[in-house]
A = this chain, B = another copy of it.
Amino acid sequence: MISFEEALKIVLDNAQFLPHESVKLEDTAGRVLASDIYADRDMPPFDKSAVDGYALKREELGNPLRVVENIAAGYVPKNEIVSGTCSKIMTGAVIPAGADFVVMVEDTIEVNGFMDLKEKEEEFKKRNNICYKGEDISEGDLLLSRGTVISPAATAILASAGFSVVSVSKVPVVGIFSTGDEIVEPEVTLLPSQIRNSNGWQLRMQTLSTCSKVKYYGIVKDSPELLHAAVLKSIEECDITIITGGVSAGDFDYVPGIIKECGFNILFDKVSVQPGKPSTFAVKRADYNENKVIFALPGNPVSSLIQFEMLVKPYIIKSMGGNYLPLKLSLPAAEEFTRKNTERLSLVPIVINPDGTFSPVRYNGSAHIAAMAHADAIAEIPVGVKQILAGEKATIHIFR
């Protein structure tokens, strides 16, 4: 049985890189940049005023100064500041030649075309209220790296660098189906021995959150023929196939056998992690350098959710040329918690408290569907560790 770290490495090492395409800036949310973005000009592009006020020579601050111009943002100043003069200036406007100081409008009075200070305070002299050309960004600076997942802040940078169309990776097509004779869709009237399909829906929504295109194939019965047909259809139509259920040691757990029959090489089928031990990853390497991959995840909803976030989502983002892992940090436990079996890495649903500690949520195990909906993150309990004491730090992963 391999460790979770080894499993993640195998998954990422087998990423199939997708080709690029150009999309409009408004359609880039969550997409992955296909090229480095450099600044095409300094920012600010000129010495600019940080405030509304008057541009002048610092040495003349405190003298009444004749106002020679009103410089609006977006316009080029017409007059140089010479001794005895100043120009009114708006936030973001170009500092006129000859000026090296802007006094804030709130600290001034203007009478008969002359500006003077309200009070003769030295306090004003601390900051000159000028943002200098290139102080934030120099022309040629790397602004965003290839592989960046595009956030609203990245969109602002792309716009500021002149991109209304952006080169990004194509998104993968992800086929999803649930297996199990006991599973029915939510709208079906239940027999007492049946349970409703929750995993398929959860995986569908998790996959959509990565911008991937989802093909949802619904529920496939525990029949070798039907499962074989479903896998063939999904690998034909999709880059990535995610199957939930059918991967335990039961007599009707046909999934691993069928994956092999379809020509896939199973790279792992057991991971030393709890929940998620039967997580399975398989690759088919085609002649024309194109990988297809299958993730077969356990049928319990907490296992499936966590393994998607920790293994499948990093694969999807990597296939688009990006790097993604949940936000990882170390936080102290608010209270002691213990476990019985210490053989595997435990991933425990938790809430993060306002004081920066964490507490486990009520969690009965991997079938306890309500646990993750009330969790902020998961905490690691390493292999061999039975107990985390109150105040002791553990590694936390925040899904994002």
A: which residues have CB within 8 A of B? 25-26, 28-29, 41, 43-46, 50-52, 70, 72-76, 88, 90-94, 105-106, 126, 131, 135-137, 143-144, 148, 151-164, 180-183, 185-187, 190, 192-206, 208-209, 216, 222, 248-253, 299, 301, 305, 327-331, 340, 352-356, 364-365, 367-370, 372-373, 375-376, 393, 398, 400
Contacts and interface: CB of A to CB of B under 8 A. Distances in A.
B186 A369 contact: no
Nearest to A395: B354
A299 B92 contact: yes
Contacts of A194: 74
Q: State the main secondary structure of chain A at its contact with B.
A: loop
A354 to B, nearest CB: 6
B164 A73 contact: no
A253 B51 CA distance: 12
Given A327-B376, A352-B329, A365-B50, A29 B209 contact: yes
Nearest to A373: B153
Contact of A299 (B91, B143, B203): B91
A277 B52 CA distance: 14
A60 to B, nearest CB: 22
A158 B399 CA distance: 21
A29 B192 contact: no
Nearest to A396: B356
Residue among A28, A354, A367, A375 having the largest count of chain B Cβ atoms under 10 Å: A367
B195 A45 contact: yes
30 contacts: A29-B209, A43-B367, A44-B195, A45-B195, A70-B251, A73-B181, A74-B180, A75-B193, A90-B248, A90-B251, A91-B299, A92-B299, A105-B250, A131-B364, A135-B364, A137-B370, A143-B373, A151-B373, A152-B203, A153-B369, A153-B372, A156-B198, A156-B369, A159-B196, A159-B200, A160-B196, A160-B301, A161-B186, A327-B398, A356-B356
A367 B46 CA distance: 13
Contacts of A93: 182, 193
Contacts of A222: 72-73
Given A106-B249, A249-B52, A160 B94 contact: no
